[in-house]
Amino acid sequence: MIAFLQGSVIPHGEDSVIINVRGVGYEVLCSAHTRGAVSDQTSAQLWIYTYVREDILQLFGFATKAEKELFLSLIKVSGIGPKVAMKILSGAPLDAIIQMIDEGDIRRLSQLPKVGKKTAEQIVLALKGKIILEGNEKPRSAFTARANIVSALVNLGFKIQDVEKVVEQMEPSIDFEDGLRKGLSSLSGAF
């Protein structure tokens, strides 16, 4: 089983990269966040999940251990395979996904790619209060503040995709009030 790859990066399609490890190119499917993090680097390290079935062998890559751990939690949910889990990870930052699950926010979860109401309910039922990410590099308070900013802006009527783009550009240590103010300013177009 391949668990980790390090090598030069060749962007390949919308949802994958090729990692060149000493002349061997491994196609690795990854979330939009991971692809964005490694596509402009000359060398990258990815944590790998190797998916094997009788007719397929695929590699799924993650820039952080935390993203891989959330992926592994998601694929344990009935009806969620590796490709669907990767789409979910591409739909929002990790902290926002964790908060949606912990709060049982079916409405926001069902807005993620490939997630309907029934799947969102299954995710909450299976994972609420059970996600502990050991590889998480951010303090939990930073996750909570950013996730609360996302939640507040979405509840004010902004599209989750637009909100996520704005919040991702904020500094990791931003507090809720400043983040909400900056988010409102950016999303309303009044810098």
Domain spans, the chain: 4-63, 66-188
Average pLDDT rounded to a whole number, residues 32-58: 89
Q: Domain 66-188 falls in which CATH fold? A: DNA polymerase; domain 1 (1.10.150)
| pLDDT at residue number 175 | 81
The predicted pLDDT at position 128 comes to 85
Query: Is pTM beyond 0.75 here?
Result: no
Question: How does DSSP assign the chain, residue by residue?
Answer: ---EEEEEEEE-SSSEEEEEETTEEEEEEE-HHHHHHHTT-SEEEEEEEEEEETTEEEEEEESSHHHHHHHHHHTTSTT--HHHHHHHHHHS-HHHHHHHHHHT-HHHHTTSTT--HHHHHHHHHHHTTT---TT--S-HHHHHHHHHHHHHHHHTT--HHHHHHHHHTS-TT--HHHHHHHHHHHHHT--
> pLDDT tens digit string along 90-138?
999 888 899 899 888 999 999 998 899 999 999 999 998 888 766 444 4
Tens-place pLDDT, residues 136-187: 444 444 456 677 787 778 778 888 778 878 888 888 778 888 888 898 988 8
4-63 sits in which CATH class?
A: mainly beta
Q: Quote the tokens at residue 67.
A: 């993203």
